[in-house]
Amino acid sequence: MELKIGAHMPITGGLYMSAERAKELGLPAFQIFTRNPRGWRYPALSADDVKNFKDATNGAFYAINSHMPYLPNLASPKEETYRLSVESLKEELRRASALGLNFIVAHVGSHLGAGIDEGKRRVAAAVSDALASVDCSCFVLLENMAGQKNSVGSRFEDIGDIIEMIKDDRAGVCFDTCHAYAAGYDISTENGIAEVLGKLDNAIGFKRVKLVHLNDSKARLGSGLDRHERIGKGFLGRSGIRAVLKSKLAELPMILETPVNDYREYADEVKAALSLVLEK
């Protein structure tokens, strides 16, 4: 089976530059932010932005996805934050549709003390509303979380409940290896990952998983900390990443979000990952 390992690409110099960088590194897939991820405000996409991006991507990639900005919280009990978050997801769907992206990745969010059931209900309503209001074939993938305090989507059962409530085939899952490990799912051995994927299949259905975030973890099993590490350098380590790459997850496109100083270093990260699979 051919591994499809891509990476997060910067959009400095224009959205289309992300695709040029991905081609420079020979990546089969890549992820972008379609706007500044640190604020609520953003300029509209121009016709040139769209045309340049489509020209640059034009059939050259197996999968392209965007990641939602950091501020939206689809589980927020605060009305104003929630309203802005749903609006932000709708805008991301409009952008993804214009750019021809396959997936949008969204963190499930934090209920901020309002309780997990209320949080799940709000996320489901947010995604249903957004998917119903924007005509787009692109998927919204909920990313499993590391188990931070009040987080809604670190347990597979909770993500499964949310997806069931959404009732739309365009709702899916992005599986982040670092977050899963930090949330207490021991995927660091071949037996461990087989067991974890069995739990995932029961709680969500493996077919709902469309994308993998391939990251090592700076934090220990069950730590609840979201700290990405470079491939083979963290607690998953070389054997853990190898187990991931030999599992069913490897059938899916994978995106590296490991802490590099420059996007070009993702070429080394891909090489590091591929070398693990070739090793005896």
What proportions of the chain, in percent to the nearest 5, are helix, strand and coil?
45, 15, 40
Structure tokens at 270: 């891909």
Which 3 state secondary structure label does DSSP give 231?
coil
Per CB under 5 A, does 213 bind Zn ion?
A: yes
- Our answer to whether residue 228 is catalytic in this structure is yes
Nearest in space to 241 (alpha carbons), one of 253, 227, 256, 226? 256
Angle at 31 between CA 215 and CA 209, to 5 degrees: 65
Per CB under 5 A, does 91 bind Zn ion?
A: no
171 CB neighbour count, 10 Å cutoff: 21
Stretch that binds Zn ion, among 3-11, 77-85, 96-104, 213-221 (CB under 5 A): 213-221
Which one from 92, 158, 216, 257 is the annotated catalytic residue? 257
Residue 91 beta carbon to Zn ion: minimum distance, rounded to whole angstroms: 21
Q: Which is nearer to Zn ion, 91 or 176 (CB)?
A: 176
Structure tokens at 253: 């496109």
Beta bridge partners of 256: 7, 214
Which one from 2, 38, 262, 279 is the annotated catalytic residue? 38
Stretch that binds Zn ion, among 107-115, 123-131, 134-142, 174-182 (CB under 5 A): 174-182
Torsion 113-117-121-124 (CA) sign: positive
Q: Which is nearer to Zn ion, 188 or 217 (CB)?
A: 217
Do you know the residue count of the chain? 280
Q: Which is nearer to Zn ion, 56 or 258 (CB)?
A: 258
Which one from 122, 179, 208, 242 is the annotated catalytic residue? 179
- Our answer to whether residue 230 is catalytic in this structure is no
Residue 186 beta carbon to Zn ion: minimum distance, rounded to whole angstroms: 18
Q: Which sequence positions are flagged as catalytic?
A: 38, 67, 70, 107, 143, 176, 179, 213, 226, 228, 257
Q: What are the residues binding Zn ion (CB under 5 A)?
A: 176, 213
